[in-house]
Structure 1
Amino acid sequence: MPAAPATRRASAPGRRSARRSERRRRQARRRRLTVTVLCSLALLGGTAFVVLHGGNGQDDGGATSQARPIPPLGGSRAADPSTAPTTASPSPSPSPSPSPSPSATQVKERGKGSFTAATSNGSAVGHGTVRRYKVEVEDGIGIDPQAAAAQVQAILGDRRSWTTDGKDGFKLVSDGIYDFTVRIASPDTTDKICGAGGLDTKGEVNCDVGKQVMVNSKRWLTGSPQFSGSLDDYRALIVNHEVGHRIGHGHEGCPGKGKLAPAMMQQIYGLNGCLPNAWPYTADGTYISGPAVP
């Protein structure tokens, strides 16, 4: 009988030791689980990187195309939409006359593959090298060639566009000799024409290939999820950006939070704190610039 207490005293340290061993085993299991989860996330992250950054690395303009995924509205816009200007420029001058703006449900993924040229001609605008251009619209996509040509002409003739540099001019023509064509086409046809030049537009974006500025009708009719300005201003951005490549301008980045985004910035992929803007120049002739980017 006297030995019983000693047995009880000896069993208490044993139980404590067993509990410590069990805690160590649980901690080891948690550490192994954490490592497994982190490794899995790393693998998934690597896969996402391949998906988002795959392809030929080309983007729009200057014999390149916009081929990266387009983020959703507000996905990377740092500027407060309630304080951002609804126009793409601080200038009081009006935007080009609007043309009918069908809803996104009216975007036709595939047209007839043939094009109709606008029959209108315009006077030369600007100085220096005057480039002659035509405007063509794919048949069967519900966009009027004459209205499209009038809008392109108004954009390139605007005092905030490229003629302000004093070195470049433009003239709308319907036939004869021309330097380039602005073609508005369905996503399917845009992909085919851009693809023939080795560019991947993924049914979403524009490209500049050969003598053609290819405008994806989806962008012409719906704008960009990253651009809070009007549809007419976004059309001005498309034209100014692509024609900017034509006359030798490369891509530019955001110059700083709260400042206007350059027209040569790929605004469809996010504004990085800049405000949406469609024009290369302000109304007073100041070039809206940013740091050069690939």
Structure 2
Amino acid sequence: MRHADNRRGRRSQHPARTRRRRVRERAARRRRLLGLAAVAAVALTAFGAVRWQSDDPHSADQAATSPHPPSATLPPSPQGPANGSPSPSPSSSASASSPQTKESSADRRVAKSGTGVFSTAAANGGPVGKGTIRRYTVQAEGGTGVSASTAAKEIAAVLGDRRGWTANGHDGFQLVSSGQSDFEVKIATPDTVDRICGAAGLRTRGEVNCNVGNQVIVNLKRWLTGSPQFPGSLHEYRALIINHEVGHRIGHGHESCPGPGRPAPVMMQQIDGLHGCRANAWPYDTSGGYLEGPSVP
């Protein structure tokens, strides 16, 4: 009995130590539980994130295929296909029909230089118009590919047209093949035009026509291709060339556009732009009215 009493006495002698031990044990258990709870929470969070991505049918594809992820430094965008060739322009079909493109393709058929020797058309015609009748010949340079006789027929038709200079009632023309003439119409290659016109101090730059001495020099390039500024037919542009240069021969100077939408005077240098006027190849309209504009000093 004493022995048992002694054990109970020892337990009763240290109640505070026992309570502290139990408190430490409970605290240790709480820490272990909190740790397990934290691990579980992390696992659940990760699991939830994975479930969120897999529930969005596009998110995984977007992340894998997006070329520009957020906050990434983007490389310079390419300027064309990998081979360096420019991308086709959607407007390329429209530019293929522009006057500039038509002229460029026709330019390939134009001889830049010829023989320098001219053949005269074996063609004659009766006088057209009244008053002063000017006799003229038509010539083509060798190497142009232009038939002088064919060109002579077209030029005679232009000078005899009722919208031409004969409508003024005091100027007339006659195509001849020989004998005395008042002027010559010469169709020449660009290099020959530059040489003949340049000798008179005129700069034609292989592009334009000139009137020098008793010669109307028609640039082959303009005869075959027209002008980017003239939307009419090639025949109409040839009429403009002849009417403009012959106009100089009978005393007319340059004129300018009389106003937006009005016909451009034939003495206007239409190859330099229409400036609001409508392209026109004739000095007179069908009613006999002169299509004039302000004189150019």
Structure 1 length as normaliser, TM-score?
0.65
Deviant stretches of 4+, over 6 Å? none
What is the CA–CA distance in structure 2 between the aligned matches of 1:289 and 1:253, rounded to whole Å? Answer: 8
Corresponding position of 2:21:
none
What is the CA–CA distance in structure 1 between the aligned matches of 2:158 and 2:99, rounded to whole Å? Answer: 25
Match of 1:255 among 255, 258, 267: 258
Corresponding position of 1:231:
234
- Structure 1 residue 103: Cα displacement: 3.2
Matched, 1:219 2:227: no
What is the CA–CA distance in structure 2 between the aligned matches of 1:214 and 1:226, rounded to whole Å? Answer: 20
What is the CA–CA distance in structure 2 between the aligned matches of 1:166 and 1:124, rounded to whole Å? Answer: 13
**1:111-150 to 2 correspondence within 5 Å?**
111-150=114-153
Structure 2 length as normaliser, TM-score?
0.65
What is the CA–CA distance in structure 2 between the aligned matches of 1:164 and 1:189, rounded to whole Å? Answer: 33
**1:29-178 to 2 correspondence within 5 Å?**
103-178=106-181
- Structure 1 residue 144: Cα displacement: 0.7
What is the CA–CA distance in structure 2 between the aligned matches of 1:211 and 1:160, rounded to whole Å? Answer: 24
Q: Secondary structure at the match of 1:227?
A: coil
AA aligned opposite 1:184: I
> Structure 1, residues 170-219: CA drift from partner, whole Å, max 9, x if none?
00000100000000000000111111111111111111111100000000
Q: Secondary structure at the match of 2:263?
A: coil
Matched, 1:289 2:292: yes
Q: Secondary structure at the match of 1:136?
A: strand
- Structure 1 residue 104: Cα displacement: 2.7
Q: Secondary structure at the match of 1:133?
A: strand
What is the CA–CA distance in structure 1 between the aligned matches of 2:216 and 2:280, rounded to whole Å? Answer: 20
Q: Secondary structure at the match of 1:148?
A: helix
AA aligned opposite 1:263: V
Q: Secondary structure at the match of 1:271?
A: coil
Larger Rg, first or second structure (1 or 2): 2
> Structure 1, residues 145-192: CA drift from partner, whole Å, max 9, x if none?
111000100000000000000000000000100000000000000111
- Structure 1 residue 73: Cα displacement: 5.5
> Structure 1, residues 48-68: CA drift from partner, whole Å, max 9, x if none?
xxxxxxxxxxxxxxxxxxxxx
Corresponding position of 1:206:
209
AA aligned opposite 1:229: G
Q: Secondary structure at the match of 1:237?
A: helix
What is the CA–CA distance in structure 2 between the aligned matches of 1:235 and 1:283, rounded to whole Å? Answer: 19
What is the CA–CA distance in structure 2 between the aligned matches of 1:128 and 1:104, rounded to whole Å? Answer: 40
Matched, 1:180 2:183: yes
What is the CA–CA distance in structure 1 between the aligned matches of 2:192 and 2:137, rounded to whole Å? Answer: 18
AA aligned opposite 2:202: L
What is the CA–CA distance in structure 2 between the aligned matches of 1:114 and 1:277, rounded to whole Å? Answer: 33
Q: Secondary structure at the match of 2:228?
A: coil
> Structure 1, residues 49-108: CA drift from partner, whole Å, max 9, x if none?
xxxxxxxxxxxxxxxxxxxxxxx959xxxxxxxxxxxxxxxxxxxxxxxxxxx9331100
Q: Secondary structure at the match of 2:173?
A: strand
What is the CA–CA distance in structure 1 between the aligned matches of 2:107 and 2:205, rounded to whole Å? Answer: 17
With a CA cutoff of 8 Å and minimum separation of 6, indicate the structure with the bigger relative contact order: 1
Provide structure 2 residue ranges, at least 5 long, that are not aligned to the other structure.
1-97
Provide structure 1 residue ranges, at least 5 long, that are not aligned to the other structure.
1-71, 75-101
What is the CA–CA distance in structure 1 between the aligned matches of 2:162 and 2:204, rounded to whole Å? Answer: 31
Equivalences, count: 196
Q: Secondary structure at the match of 1:153?
A: helix
Q: Secondary structure at the match of 2:157?
A: helix
Matched, 1:273 2:282: no
Corresponding position of 1:189:
192
